[in-house]
Amino acid sequence: MSATAAVLWSLLFLFVLRVAGQLLVALGLGPWLPPMKSWYSGLVPYGPLLASQILIIAAYAKACLDVTRGHGYFAAPRPRLGRGLTIFGALYLAAMAVRFVVQGPTIPVFFHWVLAAFLLVLGRHHRREAAA
């Protein structure tokens, strides 16, 4: 497994832990975990939030599988995709840095950083592979 694939899988694993932790709290099965108000801002009702998190996990898992196997949509060098992921990932990370300054350290901010880092690593993969 390449270093890039290992980093992508690690970031995905962290996000899966976050989603699982929040789900345990929502179901009342995680008394040792922080309360639900610590897991999200409440801007999006939990049902749609969970659905979107599952979609993110599926998309990120597809990217991890492709990069690990060395074939598939996310494995093939795509410089334009790499630039787009890098720009979006950097803007996303910057927005979450501002949120960190305004709100302080929160579980959602940390995991938004994880999601942004995934996009940046995948973007770097596409830029580097295309240059090779």
Contact predicate 46/26, CB 8 Å: yes
pLDDT, residue 12, reads 98
Interval 101-111: pLDDT, tens: 999 999 999 99
Contact predicate 14/111, CB 8 Å: yes
Interval 37-85: pLDDT, tens: 998 877 899 999 999 999 999 999 999 999 999 999 999 989 999 999 9
Burial of 77 (0-12, 13-18, 19+ CB in 10 A): middle
Domain count within the chain: 1
The SS3 assignment for 78 reads coil
Interval 92-132: pLDDT, tens: 999 999 999 999 999 999 999 999 999 999 999 999 866 66
Which residue range(s) make up the domain with 110? 3-131
